[in-house]
Amino acid sequence: MSDWRSSGLRYHALNFHLRNTFGHRVQKVSIDAGFTCPNVDGTVAIGGCTFCDNRSFSPSRRLPKQKILDQIDEGIRRLKRRYTCDHFMAYFQPATNTYAPVERLREVYEAALTHPQVVAMAIGTRPDCVPDDVLDLLEEVASRTYLSVEYGAQTIHNQSLEWMNRGHDHESFLDAMERSRDRGFEISVHVMLGLPGESKEDMLATARELARLKIDAVKIHNLYCVKHTPLEQQVESGEVQLMGLHDYIDTLVDFLEILPPSTVVERISGEAPPDYFVGPSWCLDKPAVKRALDQEMERRDSWQGKAYVAANTH
């Protein structure tokens, strides 16, 4: 039995994982290093992802631009209003945080590591933005601190990636996974449920692929809509229907059952600040989403890895 299960949990939650790893609570503090994305600057596309306004996803991008250490200090001050915590993970969150020359990347990563309360680092990026020299740098960073590299895969289905103007395909993700293995950092993957045109079976196919790849961690959330994006127009016109809570929870439980018990579940839903938010309204209440997930898993006597273990014990 996995440690998290013996602790009464039904999935391998991030808070449990970090506390188990460090011996105390570790909280992520968001950092904006000023990077852009290749589907914003015209390298592979223009306009960015169909669903994306970075300000809605990243607290650091809603603040006046500051130096890295000043951002960490400000982020810690805000987090301490909500949590009792003295140890933090520097999270390079908005845009693509490996999309720059290695010298620039080294400069911003090193700045974060000098903060005395930073004990770990997370770097959000895309699978098409990790050339070998960047992976070499990430490997070097991982030799000195706990490092999680978060790849925005979103889905394994190329038709969906085209809809979101992603600018890369699933094969790019597979290539990044292959070249990232055995470099000492945690491989985390961001996926979305409820993408237009994807059936439940399509979404669970993404789960099976992540299970096959034995990724270290996953962030899962529903497709939600924020203002000033192409998705807003599609939702308002009725072209895109956003997933309801019941369907989301039903799919999420199946998704978690397919994943290996060892995979850390960093997130189970997503939301945006009300000023940016369009819908669906249910995802603004994170505690209610977690309660709904816990209740459905209990009702089904479900747990993360249930289907994975069954499939791999014959």
Q: Is the pLDDT of residue 145 over 70?
A: yes
Task: List, for residues 243-254, the tens digit of each pLDDT value.
Answer: 999 999 999 999
Neighbouring residues of 84: CB distance < 8 A, sequence distance ≥ 6: 25
* Predicted TM-score (pTM) of this structure: 0.93
162-167: list long-range contacts, CB under 8 Å, 24+ apart.
163/50, 163/195, 163/196, 163/197, 164/49, 164/50, 164/51, 164/195, 165/39, 165/45, 165/47, 165/48, 165/49, 165/50, 165/230, 166/39, 166/45, 166/49, 167/38, 167/39, 167/43, 167/44, 167/45, 167/128
So what's the pLDDT on residue 59? 53
CA distances in angstroms from 248 to 69, 126, 221, 222, listed in the order given: 38, 25, 9, 7
Q: Is the pLDDT of residue 60 over 50?
A: no
Task: List, for residues 258-295, the tens digit of each pLDDT value.
Answer: 999 999 999 999 888 888 899 999 999 999 999 999 99
Let me know how long the chain is.
314
What's the average model confidence in pLDDT over 234-247? Answer: 95
User: For all residues of the chain together, what is the average pLDDT?
Assistant: 93
Task: List, for residues 186-229, the tens digit of each pLDDT value.
Answer: 999 999 999 999 999 999 999 999 999 999 999 999 999 999 89
Q: Is the pLDDT of residue 165 over 90?
A: no
Closest CA to 219 of 185, 285, 265: 265
What's the average model confidence in pLDDT over 122-147? Answer: 97
Domain ranges of the chain: 3-311
Decide if 149 contacts 217 (C-beta within 8 A): no
Neighbouring residues of 6: CB distance < 8 A, sequence distance ≥ 6: none
Question: For residue 132, what are the β-bridge partners?
Answer: none
- Strand intervals (E) in the chain: 27-31, 88-92, 118-125, 146-154, 186-193, 217-222, 225-226, 264-267, 277-279
What's the average model confidence in pLDDT over 88-100? Answer: 95
So what's the pLDDT on residue 50? 79
What's the average model confidence in pLDDT over 29-56? Answer: 82
So what's the pLDDT on residue 1? 41
Topology classification of domain 3-311: pyruvate-formate lyase- activating enzyme (3.80.30)
What's the average model confidence in pLDDT over 92-118? Answer: 96
